[in-house]
Amino acid sequence: MTFSVRYKTFDQLSFADVQVYTKLPPHPFWSHVDSKVDFSFADRLCAVLYSGRGQYPYAPSLKLKIHLVQAYYGLSDRQTEEKIIGDLFIKRFLQLPVDFIGFDHSTIGLDRSRMGAAMFRACHLYILAQMYQYGLWGDRNEQWIIDSFPTNVNLKFPGAYRLIQHALIRLAQHLRKHGTKPMLEALEALPLDGATVRLSKSASASARMLAFSKLVSQAYGLLAWFENENIKPFLAEWKHLKRSRELQAILRRILQENSSPVDPGDGADEASEGRNEETGTNVPELVRFQKIPLAERPKNRIVSAVDPEARIAKRSKTIYGYKTQNLCTTGGVILDVRTIPANEHDQDATADMTATIKRFFGVTPSALLGDSAYGHGRNRARLAALGIPVVAPVPIAENPTGLFHSSRFVYDAEKDVYICPEGQQSVDKQYIRQSEGHQYSFAPHVCLSCPSRKACTSSEKGGRRVFRSDYADLYEAARVYNDSLTGRAELQEWLVVERKNKELKNDCALDGARTRSRVTLQIKAQTSAMVVNLKLLVRKLGNPKPGFLRRAPIAVG
């Protein structure tokens, strides 16, 4: 199916424009990009976004260039607008008249939303294909590298009380903005004053508990309002119902993760107050919901009502929001970038990222390099199914008690038993699903009489246990390869990805991005990857080598 879409053109540049542009020396980056990369693919690719009727839109190839300029300099939308107005090098790259000032900052933002993350990913793949044609990547013996880095976002992460308020307010505002008149009239009878109550720092514990219980009760009341038989007829043909259900789901999950009903069996039915074990204070009788202690809340809980996909990961350094996965070649070409929640394990997205590039280009790397986060057995097995070996450090399972390490126990594959240093065999095994392996146990009466007991196990009545992973054979093969000269050399190649991470994070301003959405952050990561790849293309193919010329060449006649 073809789409007949005509794009707005600027006609031929005037003589004055040509004079100005010819006086400018070649730009060390944009001039080389313009001569090496064909951006016309964006006009065909994005034609599906336009109807072909009405006012002609600006060409997607032009707008893609604008987004690349923004990523190259790390600019906001308003700064990008100013850059286009006042920078002649950029105007020449965009092929705009010198006096053109038509790109408003809101137009840039709306176009980013119109294209979406999928279109920007497709544009990245098209540029990657041109680099493949130039021979910059795709060699048969090429190796790929993967790593992640923190991408903190500009979000507020409030406590449970404010979090519930935010989710409740967002749902109520959506109703008031898009609801029909009968819906708004029915909504007026619903008490929602708890959403606007701000408690002072000097408020008592009882007052805080009452306010929290009231807020949760009203939030559940609003959710029940949507299920009311008198309200359902109004929702049947409401065109904003889908978004409303999304906001309801967010509010309901936040309530479940942060609040719980007060148990009426605590003595509150016989007295006006009951005892709250968390705070050590009396619970007023009106309290029906209480705050779940922080340690008991789910680790994967929603921490922001604005962006429910954001997470907080507390490790050596706390990550607020997301991480960016970077898949690149040892030659420095970025193949894919993926924005993942901060608490997601690095290895989870690896197989899908590599499979996507392999499927699009039919290229299989000789190996995938990574740090210890990518050396887990599950990740190795997934990539082995794709025909890609993993070169990464093997996770070390240290014995925290300081007793005999499991490596001192010999596994007999024929008998499927472990043999301890004293020559005794394990007598039982049990599968542990969460750890993906079997736990082998030695007979307690044998261990109790063993001379090495104190150096082997701290159990007073039971026997020693040894764990064997489902991926033990993969781990053993990886250890042997990593200790070889070839393996050590390949592990050193992994450092290439650190330079690419630095370009994405610092030069393209991915760290501390001005965004509060995973989708927008993914788009920014895609445009940054395109810019980093274009920099590499210019360095490799620029002839003469890129360098700023102080004056235009003088014709000799």
pLDDT-derived band at 131 (thresholds 50, 70, 90) equals: very high
Q: CATH assignment of 323-395+477-525, given 1.10.260, 1.10.10, 3.30.420, 3.30.70?
A: 3.30.420
Contact, 552 vs 51, CB < 8 A? no
Peptide bond between residue 544 and the one before it cis (omega within 30 degrees of 0): yes
User: What average pLDDT does this structure show over 150-164?
Assistant: 88
Q: How far is CA 330 from the centre of its chain?
A: 23
**Distance between CA atoms of 302 and 312, rounded to whole angstroms?**
9
**Distance between CA atoms of 116 and 522, rounded to whole angstroms?**
9
pLDDT of 205 above 70: yes
pLDDT of 3 above 50: yes
Q: What is the pLDDT of residue 271?
A: 34
Contact, 551 vs 353, CB < 8 A? no
**Distance between CA atoms of 278 and 257, rounded to whole angstroms?**
17
**Vertex 59, ends 55 and 63: CA angle to 5°?**
120
pLDDT-derived band at 154 (thresholds 50, 70, 90) equals: confident
**Distance between CA atoms of 35 and 285, rounded to whole angstroms?**
76
User: What average pLDDT does this structure show over 349-378?
Assistant: 93
Q: Which of 123, 104, 154, 129 is nearest to 322 (CA)?
A: 154
**Distance between CA atoms of 139 and 408, rounded to whole angstroms?**
43
**Distance between CA atoms of 557 and 554, rounded to whole angstroms?**
10
Q: Which of 68, 73, 108, 121 is nearest to 509 (CA)?
A: 73
pLDDT of 276 above 50: no
Q: Which of 175, 168, 200, 194 is nearest to 288 (CA)?
A: 194
Tokens standing for 404?
């005999």
What three-state secondary structure class fits 488? helix
Out of 134-148, 216-230, 321-335, 540-554, pick the least confident.
540-554
Residues in the chain: 557
Confidence (pTM)? 0.85
Task: Quick: pLDDT tens for 294-309.
Answer: 999 999 999 999 999 9
Q: What are phi and psi of 403, to 5 degrees?
A: -85, -170
pLDDT of 278 above 50: no
Q: What is the dihedral of CA 44, 49, 55, 60, to 10 degrees?
A: -50
Tokens standing for 432?
């542990």
Q: What is the pLDDT of residue 511?
A: 78
Average model confidence (pLDDT) across the chain: 87
Contact, 254 vs 303, CB < 8 A? no
Beta strand pairing status for 311-313 and 319-329?
antiparallel
pLDDT of 2 above 70: no
- Residue 299, Cβ neighbours under 10 Å: how many? 8
Task: Quick: pLDDT tens for 169-182.
Answer: 999 999 999 999 99
The DSSP-derived string for 145-183 is EEEEEEEEBS-----HHHHHHHHHHHHHHHHHHH--HHH
Contact, 322 vs 525, CB < 8 A? no
pLDDT-derived band at 544 (thresholds 50, 70, 90) equals: low
**Distance between CA atoms of 290 and 276, rounded to whole angstroms?**
9
**Distance between CA atoms of 534 and 84, rounded to whole angstroms?**
20
Q: What is the pLDDT of residue 400?
A: 57
Q: Which long-range contacts (CB under 8 A, 24 or more apart) does 132-141 make?
A: 132/361, 132/363, 134/36, 134/537, 134/540, 134/541, 136/331, 136/333, 136/536, 136/537, 136/540, 136/541, 137/329, 137/331, 137/333, 137/335, 137/363, 138/361, 138/363, 140/366, 141/366
Q: What is the pLDDT of residue 555?
A: 44
Q: Which long-range contacts (CB under 8 A, 24 or more apart) does 89-92 make?
A: 89/24, 89/27, 89/30, 90/30, 92/21, 92/24, 92/27, 92/30
Q: Which of 86, 80, 88 is nearest to 104 (CA)?
A: 80
pLDDT of 47 above 90: no
Q: What is the pLDDT of residue 349?
A: 92
Q: What is the pLDDT of residue 212?
A: 93
Q: What is the pLDDT of residue 315?
A: 77
Contact, 339 vs 522, CB < 8 A? yes
Q: Which residues contact 522 (CB under 8 A, 6 or more apart)?
A: 117, 120, 338, 339
Contact, 77 vs 108, CB < 8 A? yes
User: What average pLDDT does this structure show over 496-518?
Assistant: 83
Structure-token match 């280009």, residue found: 361
Tokens standing for 175?
């109703």
The domains of the chain are located at 15-139+535-541, 160-296, 323-395+477-525, 406-471
Task: Quick: pLDDT tens for 252-275.
Answer: 999 999 999 987 665 444 333 444
2, burial (CB in 10 Å: exposed 0-12, middle 13-18, buried 19+): exposed
Q: What is the pLDDT of residue 545?
A: 65
What percent of the chain is modeled with pLDDT above 70? 91
pLDDT of 55 above 60: yes
Out of 88-97, 263-272, 471-480, pick the least confident.
263-272
